[in-house]
Amino acid sequence: MSHLCFLNGTAILPDRLLPDAVIVCRDERITYVGTARSRVPASAKIIDAKGGYISPGFVDIHIHGGGGADVMDGSLDAVRTVSQSHARHGTTTMFPTTSTGTDNQIHAMLAACSEVRDTWNIQSGSKIAGVHLYGPYFAKGKTGCHDESVCRAPEATEYRRYFESGIVGIATCAAELPGAAAFYRHANKRGCLVTCGHSNSSWDEMEAAFKNGMRHVDHFWCAMSNVSSVRKRLGVPMQGSMLEYVLANPEMSTEVIADGMHLAPELLSFAWRMKGSERLCLVTDCNRALDMPPGKYRFGPEADGSWFTSDGQVGWASPGSLASSVMGMDHMVRTMHKVGNVPLQDAVRMASLTPAERTGIDQQIGSLTAGKQADIVLLSKTLKVKQVHINGERLQIMLRK
């Protein structure tokens, strides 16, 4: 048995900060969280937080790429590159996310993610908890930077095979598409977090989706309906949209891309005040340009994905049209806390325990709690990643400055 002990830092718990914390781990698990130095075993290896923060590892439920790779490239190397890239930014568990693509491309991605998950070791980077089946079931006109030519309505003969892979943990479909109700019911039976995204759906369509198991909406305010867009589609009287439905229904959760480019500070703060840290997730929605120089890149499969340009701060599909983020989860936490004026424990909860709860994996990960896996990130006083520990092992990947 090997013991690790994290000292000289402030632990970030789901509901508060704990100064002078003592976190003891044995092998892959946390065994003690508190302030009693007497709980430190004599044989323990001491990890000095140097006055910074001791955080749970981050959990990203919406993540496409990083380090020059996209998970839709469909290769083991691509998936590992993405996992390693995000681990450098404190993400210890991730749900690789499909974009729109052909049936073959999606199956290649599912197979690659399954193999990386099943052969994981510390050098793989972030652990894969499941795949987010995101594209291809988007509404036309709401595809954003995704290739619209391969977006389509859900067909049972196609999507049932995706679920049969056994790795899909989150499933997205636009609520107004033909076949959406059957898709939601099937995904719900499979135990997925069932979501609506890239959609122009009305309140009534959201209500029908909710009755079929839908409980989450992707990146709030981005590629989603509002009263004006629903009026254009369905006429008068004006009807409620995804926005009003999510805000009015306490069981619905959503997510924000807190990169400072997608949403202004008041929207980040508003989302937190309306939904609270238990129903709002931070996501990166990151593309392959994470930690890469500004330039032109493919979104989705390297072979034929749509083009976007990274300026080093965000992706652009065209002037004025965003194409997902180029930042890691540590940046999202810093922005939510400092720019969105959200308490640090809430910002970290939205990047760890809340996504773990929404995907049903919170008994194992998501907080600094005895019995959970020792996924621990050391942050500086300015919330920069200093060390990453996954399952009690320290990641030896060079951290970016």
pLDDT in tens, 299-343: 999 999 999 999 999 999 988 899 999 999 999 999 999 999 999
- What pLDDT was estimated at residue 1? 62
Residue type, 202: S
Segment holding 113, helix H or strand E: helix 103-118
Q: Decide: 358 and 297 in contact? Cβ < 8 Å.
A: no
What does the pLDDT average to over 287-302?
Answer: 97
Task: Say how far apart CA 75 and CA 98 lie, in whole Å.
Answer: 13
Q: Any residues with CB less than 8 A from the CB of 8 and at least 6 apart, and which?
A: 20, 48, 49, 50, 51
- What pLDDT was estimated at residue 248? 98
Strand, helix or coil for residue 170? strand
- What pLDDT was estimated at residue 401? 45
Segment holding 4, helix H or strand E: strand 3-7
- What pLDDT was estimated at residue 147? 76
> Could you tell me where in the chain the CATH 2.30.40.10 domains are found?
3-54+371-394
Phi then psi dihedrals of residue 118, to 5 deg: -75, -20
- What pLDDT was estimated at residue 150? 80
Tell me the helices (H) and strands (E) count for the chain, helix number first: 11, 25
Q: How far is CA 214 from the centre of its chain?
A: 18
Extended beta strands in 275-396, E state: 280-283, 295-299, 306-310, 315-318, 321-322, 376-379, 385-390, 393-394
Could you give the residue ranges of the DSSP H alpha helices within 147-297? 156-164, 180-189, 203-211, 227-234, 242-248, 265-275
| Closest by Cα among 169, 175, 203, 207 to 188 | 169
* pLDDT over threshold 90, residue 146: no
| Closest by Cα among 107, 116, 101, 239 to 165 | 107
For domain 57-358, give the fold: TIM Barrel (3.20.20)
Q: Decide: 384 and 330 in contact? Cβ < 8 Å.
A: yes
Strand, helix or coil for residue 337? helix
- Cα distances from 386 to residues 54, 84, 90, 217, in angstroms, run 10, 15, 9, 32
The tens digit of pLDDT for each residue in 26-55 reads 999 999 999 999 999 999 999 999 999 999
> Could you tell me where in the chain the CATH 3.20.20.140 domains are found?
57-358
Strand, helix or coil for residue 400? coil
- What pLDDT was estimated at residue 398? 64
pTM over 0.95: yes
* pLDDT over threshold 90, residue 107: yes
For domain 3-54+371-394, give the fold: Urease, subunit C; domain 1 (2.30.40)
Q: Any residues with CB less than 8 A from the CB of 71 and at least 6 apart, and which?
A: 63, 64, 65, 78, 79, 82, 96, 97, 98, 109, 112, 113
Q: Any residues with CB less than 8 A from the CB of 232 and at least 6 apart, and which?
A: none
